[in-house]
Amino acid sequence: MARILILSTASDSLGETGKPTGVWYEELATPYYAFLDAGHEVSLVTLGGKAVPIDPNSDVRGEEAPASVTRFRADETAQALLETPARLEDCDVSAYDALYIPGGHGAMFDLAESDLVAKTIGTVWDSGKVVASVCHGPAAFAKAVDSNGDPIVKGRKVSAFTDSEERGVGLADAVPFLLETRLRELGANFESVEDWQPHAVADGQLVTGQNPASSEAAAQKVLALLS
């Protein structure tokens, strides 16, 4: 059994627009159950232990909802985690085998700006543990460096929400930076496929996925590394 730490955004506002945002439900729920169902221990943290907001655009119900989202919504334990996640500030990241960061636009506003998040990612990275993220989650890599001071994405294959997808949802002017562009500036070998199609890539201990549809593929790559 491995121990997996999920670090979620706690930002519920889309910058100066004031529009609600948060974590993208599928990007949290799908890996959460993939990890649990594989027999691993999963913990959830946020900066300051703030509650996890769900991006309302991802809070799909009925037949169109991803099965993982429907399951998560009905899961009292999972719902309690959303309300009272642990504090990243109190977390001993050395006790975990993998760090997973789901997306949602919220990550662009708190995780990307946090020195603590950058330090946490760098610590996990330098210990040789798995670092994984999907969609807007890799915004958390913006300030993360290794022990040599190099961005952890430098020279590595990375995927994330593309500039094209950001323009497609009409939020290219609402985010503080375009994620694909930033990752390329950091030296990543950015990979993507057609907008909205699943795509996940593993490069050594780093696993990334392009968009919500990539959540399952990214989770499976994490599980493969842990096995």
Per-residue model confidence (pLDDT) at position 221: 98
Per-residue model confidence (pLDDT) at position 163: 98
Per-residue model confidence (pLDDT) at position 52: 98
Residues in CB range of 177: below 8 A, 6 or more apart: 108, 112, 142
**Mean pLDDT (whole number) for 106-126:** 98
Helix-strand-coil split of the chain, %, nearest 5: 40, 20, 40
The dihedral sign for the CA sequence 202, 207, 212, 216:
positive
Instruction: For Cα atoms 215, 170, 111, give the angle at the middle one, nearest 5 degrees.
Output: 50
pLDDT at 15 over 90: no
Per-residue model confidence (pLDDT) at position 16: 85
The dihedral sign for the CA sequence 167, 171, 173, 175:
negative
Q: Residue 21 sits in a domain of what CATH number?
A: 3.40.50.880
DSSP symbol at 213: G
Per DSSP, the three-state class of 126 is helix
pLDDT at 100 over 90: yes
What are the backbone dihedrals phi and psi of residue 225, each rounded to the nearest 5 degrees, phi first? -65, -35
Name the residue range of residue 32's domain: 3-226
Instruction: For Cα atoms 67, 167, 164, give the angle at the middle one, nearest 5 degrees.
Output: 80
pLDDT digits (tens, 9 = 90+) for 30-56: 999 999 999 999 999 999 999 999 999
Percent of the chain with pLDDT over 70: 100
Residue whose tokens read 């290794």 = 146
Quote the distance between the C-alpha of residue 95 and its chain's center: 19
Please spell the DSSP secondary structure of 20-88, one letter per residue: B--B-HHHHHHHHHHHHHTT-EEEEEEGGG---PBPGGG---GGGS-HHHHHHHT-HHHHHHHHSPEEG
Is the pTM higher than 0.95? The answer reads: yes
Average pLDDT, the chain: 97
Per-residue model confidence (pLDDT) at position 106: 97
The total of structural domains in the chain comes to 1
Determine the Cα–Cα distance for residues 205 and 107; give it in Å rounded to an integer: 21
